[in-house]
Amino acid sequence: MNITVRTSGPATQVTLFLKGSSMMPGPLPGGEFWQAAGEKVTLSPVGSDVWVRGTVAPSEVGVYPAEATVDGLTFTADDWFLKVYPEGFLQQPGHNTPEEAISARFAQDFKGCELRRIESKTLPPDDGRDPRYHKLFLITYYQPYVGPILPPGTHTYYYYVLKD
């Protein structure tokens, strides 16, 4: 993935911050990982007002608000995002509510099971993703058969729902 920031004039330093982004540390030729929530990536100049950086996307699926800092001044806009989707996400139908999305996904993931409850939860304290775009839900379901891991009975499972 390449990041490009265009400034309205000459600058001496440009960084980019993606709220909630993180990735496991490790080497990557020609780029770097997003290593921790809150870490800024420094871009390199390729012209008088163009700055670039090769990197990889954050490890977690999500919508990450972007914030650019140019010579110490921070800029952001409501439509500056990096969107990281799982493969095939844009080919799936959209849903009007998180509960509709969970019900549709549950039907695919837990064939033969009965969805009994969907409960909204707060993101964990160590989850730095933006709660405006990331929601966590706990489902309770009944599995009537012996599965590869779980016995028959009532079980719970967490779903993250992405708002785009």
Cβ neighbors of 92 (< 8 A, separation 6 or more) are none
CATH of domain 2-84: 2.60.40
Cβ neighbors of 94 (< 8 A, separation 6 or more) are none
8 Å CB contact between 66 and 16: yes
**Could you report the per-residue pLDDT of 43-87, keeping only the tens digit for each?**
899 988 999 987 767 777 888 888 999 999 999 998 888 888 888
Per the model's pLDDT, the better-predicted residue between 156 and 27 turns out to be 156
42/51 Cα distance (integer angstroms)? 9
Task: Give residue limits of the domains in the chain.
Answer: 2-84, 89-162
Task: Find the range with the poorest average confidence among 13-27, 105-119, 138-152.
Answer: 13-27
Residue 22 has pLDDT above 80, yes or no: no
